[in-house]
Amino acid sequence: MNGVQLTDVRKTYGDMLAVDDFNLSIGDGEFVTIVGPSGSGKSTLLRMIAGLEDITSGEIQLDGTVINDVRPRDRDVAMVFQNYALYPHMTVRDNISYGLRLTSDLSEEAIRERVQEAAEMMGIEDQLEKKPGELSGGQQQRVATGRAIVREPKVFLMDEPLSNLDAKLRTHMRTELQRIQNDLGTTTVYVTHDQEEALTMSDRVVILDDGELQQVGTPNDVYYEPRNLFVAEFIGSPSMNTFEAELDGTTVLMEDLSFELDEGLAERVATNSSSDRLVVGVRPEHMSFVEAGDRNVIEAVLDVREPVGEDNYFYLRRGETEFTMRVLGAHDEEPGEHISVTFDEENLHVFDTETGENVLVDASSTEEDTLSAS
């Protein structure tokens, strides 16, 4: 099994804590993406797996073997960097084969065959005699990925490899990387700040903030069942609408809004929260138009309508409370219009103000608690 196990991994730089007692099991052949804001510790984690950073305490295992003190070149991992790290004076062929020559005793013929196979897989077989300066950004990224592939490592480590590409090419390369990983079945740890990459590419997503693990789960887990308020607001674009609220019986009271809950749901909220003070969340796409006079109607004023292709983002206001609705199709509502909207209870998220925890997520039955791959 070519999996990775991190146990109580901690990293400090003097008095600064970069990663705090991190635990995660990554299964053989799994594609795991680590995502978080700048400074959250995601690249530090990747560099510790690679051996480019020493760990302060804890243990990292690869394929069941502790690798804390193993040199980077002996860990049998291959890393793709954000800046590609190609040698400008070498041809594409030599760039791809360079690491393989350093870490193996393969014959020249075997190396040539591997380079040719990797180049064909990456679609750059006609670029092998060129130098990096003659290539586009997308081609350079393919060379860097080919250099990792050719080594046939136990683990791929990728540190924001697509961030220097334009939006169209980035989307294309996401698909390419997924295809390659599926074909090779190599365990992959991918770091990005782009939540769209995290949600579209991964078997599981790991979310960090200030060096602390916030949640790990499938893309659906972290999107539809965010463990806490940070995850709820970080994952999703536009961000989840959140409102400070208070529970009064079955009524959720907000500054300019109120919402009536079914008795069973109100009881769950009251039982699982530490006080009546709450934060209520609902995603923009879970809000919808409704007829005036229906149950739980929110009468609001449209401040801005922002059409983005098939999507429309409605920026709404009621009193001093602002929120966003995302709807599909053609719409001709104009700023200043009064519209009626609502959302279903089943799409409601409720967070404890003191702990930030989602009181409607059953912690005992979620994958995030085990932090292990099946």
What CATH code is carried by the domain that includes residue 219? 3.40.50.300
Sheet with 251-254, strands from edge to edge, namely 258-260, 251-254, 241-248, 277-282, 349-352
Residues in Cβ contact with 324 at an 8 Å cutoff, skipping those fewer than 6 apart: 238, 239, 241, 284, 313, 314, 315, 316
Do 164 and 185 lie in one domain? The reply is yes
pLDDT band (50, 70, 90) for residue 2 = low
CA distance 92 to 171: 24
pLDDT band (50, 70, 90) for residue 368 = very low
- At 10-45, the pLDDT tens digits run 999 999 999 999 999 999 999 999 999 999 999 999
Do 264 and 347 lie in one domain? The reply is yes
- pTM more than 0.85: yes
Cα 325 to chain centroid, rounded: 23
Do 260 and 304 lie in one domain? The reply is yes
**Cβ atoms within 10 Å, residue 71:** 8
- At 83-133, the pLDDT tens digits run 888 999 999 999 999 988 888 889 999 999 999 999 998 889 999 999 999
**Cis peptide preceding 88, ω within 30 of 0:** no
User: Would you say residue 294 has pLDDT above 90?
Assistant: no
Structure tokens at 106: 């393969």
Looking only at the bridges linking them, the beta strands covering 31-35 and 204-209 are parallel
Domain boundary among 195, 211, 227: 227
Do 21 and 104 lie in one domain? The reply is yes
Q: Is residue 216 part of a domain?
A: yes
Do 177 and 267 lie in one domain? The reply is no
Give how many domains the chain has, as a whole number: 2
Q: Which of 152, 189, 126 is nearest to 373 (CA)?
A: 189
Length of the chain: 374
